[in-house]
Amino acid sequence: MRLKQSARKREKMTKDRELENVLKHYTIPVINPGIRKHQITKLSADIQDMDYLPPQSFTGQLLTQLSFISGWIWLAQAGMLFLLFLCFFRADPFQVNMMMFCLASALSLILTCEMSKSFRAGAWEMETSCRYNLAQIFLFRLCILFGGDFLVLTAALVAYRMADGPFWQFCLFTLLPFFLSSAISLCALRRIGNRCNSAAITAIPLFSVNLAAWTTPLMEKGLSHLGLSLAEATPAITLLALALLLYHAGRLCTRAHYLSESSYAMQK
Amino acid sequence: MELRIENLTKQYGSFLAVNDLSAVLTCGVYGLLGANGAGKTTLMRLLCDIQLPTTGTISYDGQDIREYGDRYRNVLGYLPQDFGYYPDFTAMKFLLYMSAIKGLSKGYARQRSLELLDEVGLLQVRDKKIKTFSGGMKQRLGIAQAMLNDPKVLILDEPTAGLDPKERVRFRNLISSFSRNKIVLLSTHIVSDVEYIAGDILVMKKGKFIHEGKPDEIIHTVDGMVWECRVANGEVPSLEMKYNIGNMRTEGETTILRIISETKPLENAVNAAPNLEDLYLYYFSDEEDHVI
C-alpha cells in the first residue's frame, strides 16, 4: 500500500517537473490593465446580479405568483363546483341553464375582482416600477385565473353533457356570457386604469352578463331573419366572444403605462 | 452612476406639470422641495417610467430608461405618494410578494425582508395583517419595500408623511446609512427632513427647478430677507395681513415676529440668519400650506 502511494507521488512529481520544463519556454503574457479592469467590473456586476436576481422562467414566476392569488378565489370556485354537482342531476333543464348562467357570472366576477386588485388597493404604481411590471403581473394573474376557469368550465361541461344538455346551450348559457362579460370587464379595466372603483368594477361583469341574457331573444330574432337558428350560430358567436376576450386580455397585458391622464388633466 | 434629465416636459391638456427640466443626479441624497402641485409627483413618476414624458429624455448611465426596461427597474426602488397595499397580506407576505415581483430569489427575499422589517421596527408585527397597522407603520413598510432590491436609484415621494418625530429620526438615519454610492431622491414639504438628510436640494415651483444646490448655498439666496422684531400684540393682525410671517412667539404683552420680506418691515426689525424654512416661505408663501 505504502509502495503504491510513493510510486504515485513520484509519478506526479515527474509530471510536474515535465510541465515546469515545458512552461519555461513560455513568457507570462502581460494583461492590458484596461481589459483586466473591464473584466473585473463585468464579472462583479454579473456576480452581484446572480446573487439575488436570478433569471426566472415564466413557469417559475407563474408558480411564485400562484401563492399570492387571493385564497378566497379557489374556495369560491371549489364551492361552486360542489354546489353544481350537488344540484345538477336533480334540476330540470331550465334550472340547469340558470345555474350555468350563475356560474358564468360568478367566474367573470372573480376574474374581474382579482385582476383589478392592484388598482383597487392602490398598489399599481409600486408594481409598475418593479422588475416584473404591472403588465407582466397582469399576464401572470390572467394565466393563473384562466387556468382555474378552464378547469371549472371543463368540469361543468362534463356534468352538462352527462345530464344530456346540448353543447350549444352550454355555449349560450355559460361560455358566451363568461367570455363576453370578462372581455367587457378587461376592456373597462384597461380604460379606467387607476381610477378603478370597487363598486364599478363589480357592477361591470354583473351588468354585462345580464346584458348577454337580455339580448338573447333579440339575437334569436335577428338570426332567424338570416335564416339561422340559435343552435347553429351560438358556437360561432361564442368563438367570436372568446376572440374578443383574448384581444382585450392581450391589450391589458401589453400596455406600458396605466396612469389615466385624462382625469389628471381635468383635476389640474 | 448618473441619472440625467434632459429638457423634460409633461403636459396634461394645457397644464404644464413639468416644464423643460434638466438636471444631472449623481450619488447622494437629493431633497425635492416644493408646494403641492409643483410637479414633484409627476417628476418622480417620470423618473420611474410610470408615465411617459411629453418631450425630453431621462437616461441612466447614458442609456434611455425606457430602452433599459427591466434592467433599469432592477436598480430602482420607489415609494409612491399614495402607497397602496393588499389589506389581507401580512407585513412579511407583502414584502415577499414585492420581492417576487422585483425578481429576488426566495432565500434572499426572506433574509432581506427580515432585515428590513427589523430596520423599520416592524419585525415584531411581521405576521400581522397590514390592515391592522397605523398610518406610520404602513409608511415604514412602504419604505422597506422600496429598499428590498438594494436599489441604486431610490425615489421616495413624501416618505415621512404620517410618521411621528421618532419615526422620522429613524427614517433619516436609515436613509443616511443606505445612501452611500446610491442616488436617493426624496420629495417632501416637511422642510426639516430635507434639511437634515439631503446633500443637495432641488426647489421646484410650477414645474421648474428654481434653485439647485447644497442647503447652505440655497439658503443664502434669501440672505437679508429674514427679519426679527418685537411688536405689541395688538399690531400682529395688521402685520400678518401685510407681511409673510414665518414664526411668532408671544411674550407677555409683546410678540416676537419672524418676517420674510425683501425690505425692512419695521424700524426695530433686525436681520436674522435665514434657514430652509424661511426659504420655503419666501418662495411658496403664495401657495398651499405646508408642514414644517
Judge: B149–A53 Cβ closer than 8 Å, yes or no: yes
For chain A, give the mean pLDDT: 83
Question: What does the alpha-carbon distance between residue B246 and residue A110 come to, in Å, rounded to a whole number?
Answer: 54
Going by the DSSP 8-state scheme, the letter that residue B250 receives in this structure is E
Query: Are A100 and A174 spatial neighbours (Cβ–Cβ below 8 Å)?
Result: yes
Beta-sheet pairing, B15-25 with B183-188: unpaired
Q: A268 — contact with chain B (CB < 8 Å)?
A: yes
Q: Is B258 exposed, middle or buried (0-12, 13-18, 19+ CB in 10 A)?
A: buried
Q: Which of residues 78-117 of A touch B (CB under 8 A)?
A: 117
Question: What does the alpha-carbon distance between residue B274 and residue B272 come to, in Å, rounded to a whole number?
Answer: 6
Q: B190 — contact with chain A (CB < 8 Å)?
A: no
Q: A57 — contact with chain B (CB < 8 Å)?
A: no
Q: Chain A residues with CB inside 8 Å of B52's CB?
A: 256-257
Question: What does the alpha-carbon distance between residue A7 and residue A45 come to, in Å, rounded to a whole number?
Answer: 47
Q: Could you tell me the pLDDT band of residue B156, with boundaries at 50, 70 and 90?
A: very high
Q: A48 — contact with chain B (CB < 8 Å)?
A: no
Does A139 or A31 have the greater pLDDT score? A139
Quote the ipTM score: 0.85
A8 has a pLDDT exceeding 90 = no
Does A212 or A60 have the greater pLDDT score? A60
Structure confidence by residue, pLDDT tens digits, B41-94: 999 999 999 988 999 999 998 889 988 888 899 999 999 988 888 988 999 999
Cell numbers 330574432 correspond to what residue?
Answer: A221
Q: A169 — contact with chain B (CB < 8 Å)?
A: no
Going by the DSSP 8-state scheme, the letter that residue A32 receives in this structure is P
Task: State whether residue B129 is helix, strand or coil.
Answer: strand
**Region A204-208: what's the mean pLDDT?**
77
Q: Per-domain residue ranges for chain A?
A: 56-258
Q: Name residue B77's beta-bridge partners.
A: B154
User: Which residue from B107, B190, B118 is spatially nearest to B147, judged by alpha carbons?
Assistant: B118
Find the CB nearest B103 among A56, A65, A126: A56
Find the CB nearest B101 among A49, A127, A259: A127
Judge: A125–B50 Cβ closer than 8 Å, yes or no: yes
Lowest mean pLDDT among A56-65, A191-200, B250-259, B278-287: A191-200
Fold of B3-217: Rossmann fold (3.40.50)
Q: Chain B residues with CB inside 8 Å of A52's CB?
A: 104-105, 108-109, 112, 149-150
Give how far Cα B205 sits from Cα of B81, B158, B212, B281, B289, Å.
18, 16, 12, 12, 14
Q: Per-domain residue ranges for chain B?
A: 3-217, 224-273
Q: A260 — contact with chain B (CB < 8 Å)?
A: no
